[in-house]
Amino acid sequence: MLILHCPYCGIHADETELAPGGEAHIRRAGPGSDDTEFENYMFARKNPKGVHFERWRHVHGCGKWFHAARATDTLEVFGTYPAQTTEPPEEILAHIRKRRPDWKGFQG
Amino acid sequence: MKRYSAFAIAREALRHHTGWQRAWRSPAPKPRYDVIIIGAGGHGLATAYYLGRNHGIRNVAVLEKGWLGGGNTGRNTTIIRSNYLQDESAAIYEKARSLYETLSQDLNYNIMFSPRGVMMLAQTEHEVRGYRRTAHANRLQGVETRFISPAEVREIAPIIAIDGPRYPVLGALWQPRGGTARHDAVAWGYARACSDMGMDIIQQCEVTAIRQERGRVTGVETTRGTIGCDKLGIIVAGHSGQLAEMAGFRLPIESVALQALVSEPIKPVLDTVVMANTVHGYISQSDKGELVIGGGADGFNNYTQRGSFHHIEETVRALVETFPIISRLKMLRQWGGIVDMTGDRSPIIGRTPLENCFINCGWGTGGFKAIPGSGWAMAATMARGEPDDLAAPFGMERFREGRFIDESVAAGVAH
Ligand SMILES: Cc1cc2nc3c(=O)[nH]c(=O)nc-3n(C[C@H](O)[C@H](O)[C@H](O)COP(=O)(O)OP(=O)(O)OC[C@H]3O[C@@H](n4cnc5c(N)ncnc54)[C@H](O)[C@@H]3O)c2cc1C
Ligand SMILES: [Zn+2]
């Protein structure tokens, strides 16, 4: 069972308390964007086998959205952080690099 | 290849079974092939088979990182049905179902197709309306289904608790020629027939990179060396995103875990397949007597082939309510597979941005039933270099064009 730390209420919540919300840090395509940009924004997904950044919501808790850095091939959790950011904080990235030296790095 | 027959069994019985051949060869890879298929699951093997049988393309290799049939093809609950809502889906799933009817004869391999009927219970008013609509659609599509009453449900499957407690059964969508087949045998039967046509099935051979020149595929790098090809088919289910990244494009797909479980074997209690989509569970009984049970998929990306326990709990709770007689059964095993989910819950078959590289994926929780039809359409698409009629609606460009084949509204459960 996946256990994630909610950065808002500070508790370790297990999966049954949380709702998964898909890939994080997706940049919205605005008015004037072409079909390919909209396709990328709405449908194309990284779906990596390895390090992944995703959105989670603490539905049966404080109700807030947060982000998690996770490995999809081992279920290891690297850390969680508040959702009000366009990229993962440096301490999370440093931790991932330590755990996975050949990781290619965050790509927005 | 020696044919399997009643005569062969008698002959081998007399000589202590010393004359059986291996079902397929295990050759070393050649430097190049006309066609390489990545992934020896049902869809990859069926594609290779129909490339040879329907299109005369036999210089083909199927590359598999593990053992053939060890992916979702060997992990599913084997439900076969074609009672989909949209015309495009009904066409390809019904093609597959009808090919299943004679597949044992075509392959000279007993795949144990058992058209025991598939029943999808309607347990809310919404479902009653939905399934009536599907039955009407199926009639227009030429797919034989019928909406049946609670009394008929009880007659077909007496162990169902028709009156609730939570959700009384209000009727069901019934497809009498749906059913099950032996999943391993489907992979093995196609593999044997491919090998017999001279194709190379190469196991323990993981593709690690895709070679290209000027936007055109030229071969693959593998754990057993570089292999060249004219055309490449990526047919790897849960790993599609990874292979697409190697080829240089992204897919509208997320990979998540789907689980199933089987009970201890018991005397025959259920001779049909029952799906209860509102409460999220489905069940059938194998020839060995085990109840084969499945439910919903997990919600987050996962490549570990193990899922979350609370989904098992949810499924079992739902089925115990619907079939009270199973409440004391012990469960023998539980396992997971990584399924490739698209947004509209329909597959992707067709060309990719890389020239001569084709993809077949996105079957998600329900692609076992589609194997023969998918292989048929994929083979035609690869042979001609452009999609045939069955495949055409399923190109990945449908997402850009907003032309979804929306089956997510039509089925609430993973199957
Ligand atoms: C628990 C569960 C229950 C299901 N129940 C049903 C059901 O009742 N009815 C139904 O119709 N469908 C069902 N499905 C769905 C069905 O199993 C799949 O849609 C179908 O088997 C997919 O077949 P495939 O050949 O595309 O993939 P797979 O059988 O997964 O084959 C893909 C192969 O590609 C190989 N591969 C991956 N990466 C590489 C690489 N880099 N190099 C070489 N090889 C590679 C893998 O090892 C694998 O063997 C279920 C699935 C699961 C998990
Ligand atoms: Zn919280």
Chain B residues interacting with chain A (CB cutoff of 8 angstroms): 239, 241-242, 245, 250-255, 299-304, 308-310, 343, 399-401
From the list B242, B308, B400, the residue facing A49 with the nearest CB is: B242
CATH number of B25-82+84-108+183-252+344-410: 3.50.50.60
Please state the separation of Cα B384 from the chain's center in Å: 24
| Percent of chain B with pLDDT strictly greater than 70 | 98
Burial of B224 (0-12, 13-18, 19+ CB in 10 A): middle
- Angstrom distance (rounded) from CA B33 to CA B57: 10
Residue B87, H or E segment: helix B87-101
pLDDT tens per residue across span B10-50: 999 999 999 999 999 999 999 999 999 999 999 999 999 99
Q: Which one, of B123, B380, B353, lies nearest residue B248 by Cα?
A: B353
Q: Which atom of ligand 1 is nearest to the CA of B243?
A: 41
CA-based angle B315:B319:B321, to the nearest 5?
Answer: 120
Q: CATH number of the domain at A49, please.
A: 3.30.2270.10
- Residue at A34 is within a domain: yes
- ipTM here: 0.95
Q: Which ligand is nearest to the CA of B292?
A: 1
Q: Cα B337 to chain center, whole Å? A: 12
- Residue A13 CA: which ligand is closest? 2
| Mean pLDDT, range B207-228, rounded to an integer | 98
A107 within domain boundaries: no
Q: Name the DSSP class of B251.
A: B
Residue A94 lies in a domain: yes
Question: Strand B200-202 vs strand B60-63: parallel, antiparallel, or unpaired?
Answer: parallel
Give the HSE-up count for residue B43: Cα atoms under 13 Å, Cβ half-sphere: 28
**pTM exceeding 0.80:** yes
> Which superfamily, per CATH, for B118-177+255-342?
D-Amino Acid Oxidase, subunit A, domain 2 (3.30.9.10)
Residue A89: which domain range?
3-99
Mean pLDDT of B151-155: 98
- State the total domains in chain A: 1
Of the candidates B329, B296, B333, the one whose C-alpha atom is nearest the C-alpha of residue B311 is B296
Question: Is residue A55 domain-resident?
Answer: yes
Mean pLDDT over the full length of chain B: 95
Q: Is A81 within the bounds of a domain? A: yes
Say whether B300 and A74 touch across the interface (CB within 8 A).
Answer: no
3-class secondary structure per residue, chain A: CCEEECCCCCCEEEHHHCEEEEECCCCCCCCCCCHHHHHHHHCCECCCCCEEEEEEECCCCCCCEEEEEEECCCCCEEEEEECCCCCCCHHHHHHHHHHCCCCCCCCC
User: Quick one: pLDDT at residue B133?
Assistant: 96
Residues with Cβ within 8 Å of residue B66, at least 6 apart in sequence: B203, B204
Does the residue A53 lie in any domain?
Answer: yes
B252:A2 CB<8 A? no
Cα-based angle A10, A11, A15 (whole degrees, multiple of 5): 130
**A104, part of any domain:** no
Atom 52, ligand 1: residue with shortest CA distance: B76
Q: Is residue A105 a part of any domain in this protein?
A: no
Q: Tens digits of per-residue pLDDT, B90-132?
A: 999 999 999 999 999 999 999 999 999 999 999 999 999 999 9
What digits encode the pLDDT tens for the residues A17-42? 999 999 999 999 999 999 999 999 99
